[in-house]
């Protein structure tokens, strides 16, 4: 297992991932490593093998420009964090990329194909699946139904196909197996028959992540996965996020406020402020970036607080 940037936080996260491997049905696959060593820490820098490339994406609400990203590449097989002060446009950018909002200008490609102007459901089918800042569990469906619903290309999903039971029974069994193994991994198996609305906030985050995996995406986009989660659960959630990269070779792009989390698990950090990418780089680059410190604390400040919290 190569450790290309060798940050201490990353090492700890991987240790955590090993703990989660205790679930017997999951083989520990070698992680698909991403080599970002030669990449310069500057906004809009080109990266080897980007899965997502955005160009000139702008979204205005009246006179306010919420997002104005000139160029951004997300490297495949990495965990990329999107951070920035409140109102920086992180969630808006997420909504744009996933088809939940339309930009005023700009385009982006996903896996080399144009993905701008594509409706949200098609974005998901192409392998770019998001979660939400305010968790969207389908509350009056069971946990298991939440999972099964997400399985792609079901023949019983069509109105006519639904009537032909022999046509979808087998597929349903296969999906059930996959759903149950994911639920075991996310420690929700015992809850499978319960309504999703009975889960705690942290469990809903887990369910949302597991549900996103049912779609079998190449890029998982997590909007504040740790928000509103009991601190005791944060570590477990972190392990699940790193496992996405390390065990399944997924690319993860996530928005997060918690600097410990961001610095601990990210391969690459992108900083948005007032809609623009003001900095990007490895966690260590970002910690010492003057523009980032300015954006968070204002131009006139004393000792940068991130020094302490970024640990």
- Interface size with another protein, residues (CB under 8 A): 47
Distances (CA, A) of 48 to 108, 217, 258, 294: 17, 20, 28, 29
Contacting another protein (CB under 8 A), which of 12, 26, 111, 195?
195
Min dist. Cβ of residue 207 to another protein (A):
11
Q: Do 17 and 40 meet the contact criterion of CB atoms below 8 Å apart?
A: no
Stretch that binds another protein, among 207-215, 229-237, 246-254, 299-307 (CB under 8 A): 207-215
- Report the C-alpha gap between 281 and 172 in whole angstroms: 43
From 21, 43, 100, 297, residue interacting with another protein (rule: CB under 8 A) = 100
A 10 A CB-CB count for 126 gives 17
Length of the chain in terms of residues written: 311
> Is residue 168 involved in binding another protein (CB under 8 A)?
yes
Using DSSP, state whether 64 is helix, strand or coil.
strand
- Rounded distance between C-alpha atoms, residue 181 and residue 250, angstroms: 18
19 binds another protein (CB under 8 A): no
The number of beta carbons lying within 10 Å of the beta carbon of residue 82 is 28
Task: Please say whether the beta carbons of 273 and 84 come within 8 A.
Answer: yes
Q: Of 214, 237, 259, 273, which lies in the binding site for another protein, with binding defined by CB under 8 A?
A: 214
**Nearest approach, Cβ of 107 to another protein (angstroms)?**
21
Window of 29-37, 136-144, 274-282, 296-304 that interacts with another protein by CB under 8 A = 136-144
d(CA 36, CA 44): 14
Span near another protein by CB under 8 A; candidates 176-184, 198-206, 242-250, 301-309: 198-206
- Residue 68 parent element (H or E): strand 64-75
Find, among 219, 204, 192, the residue nearest to 78 by Cα. 219
Instruction: Please state the closest distance from residue 87 (CB atom) to another protein, in A.
Output: 21
Q: Is 149 in the site for another protein (CB under 8 A)?
A: yes
With CB under 8 A as the contact rule, the residue among 31, 204, 240, 250 that binds another protein is 204
- 102 belongs to the binding site for another protein (CB under 8 A): no
CA distances (Å), 246 to each of 14, 71, 78, 127, in order? 8, 27, 9, 18
Q: Which of 36, 54, 143, 150 binds another protein (CB under 8 A)?
A: 150
**Residues 58, 125, 178, 257: which binds another protein (CB under 8 A)?**
125
Interface with another protein, residue 227, by CB under 8 A: no
Angle at CA of residue 13, ends 146 and 130, nearest 5°:
30
Residue 305 binds another protein (CB under 8 A): no
- Residue 159 near another protein by CB under 8 A: yes
Q: Is 131 in the site for another protein (CB under 8 A)?
A: yes
Binding site for another protein (CB under 8 A): 98, 100, 119-122, 124-125, 129-132, 134-141, 145-146, 148-150, 152, 154, 156-159, 161-163, 165, 168, 172, 195, 197-198, 201, 204, 211-212, 214-215, 228
């Amino acid at each position: 297992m190569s450790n290309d940037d060798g940050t201490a936080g990353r090492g700890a996260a991987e240790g955590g991932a090993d703990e989660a491997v205790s679930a017997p049905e999951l083989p520990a696959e070698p992680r698909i490593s991403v080599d970002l060593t030669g990449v310069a820490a500057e906004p809009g820098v080109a990266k080897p093998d980007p899965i997502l490339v955005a160009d000139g994406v702008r979204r205005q609400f009246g006179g306010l420009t919420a997002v104005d990203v000139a160029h951004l590449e997300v490297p495949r097989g990495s965990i990329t964090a999107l951070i920035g002060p409140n109102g920086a446009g992180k969630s808006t950018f997420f909504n744009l990329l996933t088809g939940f909002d339309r930009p005023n200008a700009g385009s982006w490609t996903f896996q080399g194909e144009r993905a701008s102007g594509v409706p949200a459901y098609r974005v998901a089918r192409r392998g770019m699946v998001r979660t939400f800042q305010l968790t969207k569990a389908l509350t009056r469906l069971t946990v298991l139904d939440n999972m099964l619903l997400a399985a792609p290309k079901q023949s019983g999903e069509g109105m006519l196909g639904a009537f032909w039971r022999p046509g979808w029974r087998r597929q349903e069994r296969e999906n059930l197996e996959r759903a149950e193994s994911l639920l075991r991994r996310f420690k929700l198996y015992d809850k499978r028959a319960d309504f999703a609305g009975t889960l705690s906030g942290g469990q809903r985050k887990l369910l949302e992540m597991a549900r996103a995996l049912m779609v079998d995406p190449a890029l998982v986009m997590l909007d504040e996965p740790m928000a509103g989660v009991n601190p005791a659960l944060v570590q477990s959630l972190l392990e699940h996020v790193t496992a996405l990269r390390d065990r399944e070779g997924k690319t993860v792009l996530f928005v997060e406020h918690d600097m410990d989390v961001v610095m601990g698990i990210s391969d690459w950090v992108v900083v948005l402020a007032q809609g623009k990418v003001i900095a990007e780089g490895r966690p260590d680059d970002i910690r010492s970036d003057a523009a980032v410190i300015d954006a968070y604390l204002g131009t006139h400040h004393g000792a940068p607080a991130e020094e302490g919290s970024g640990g």
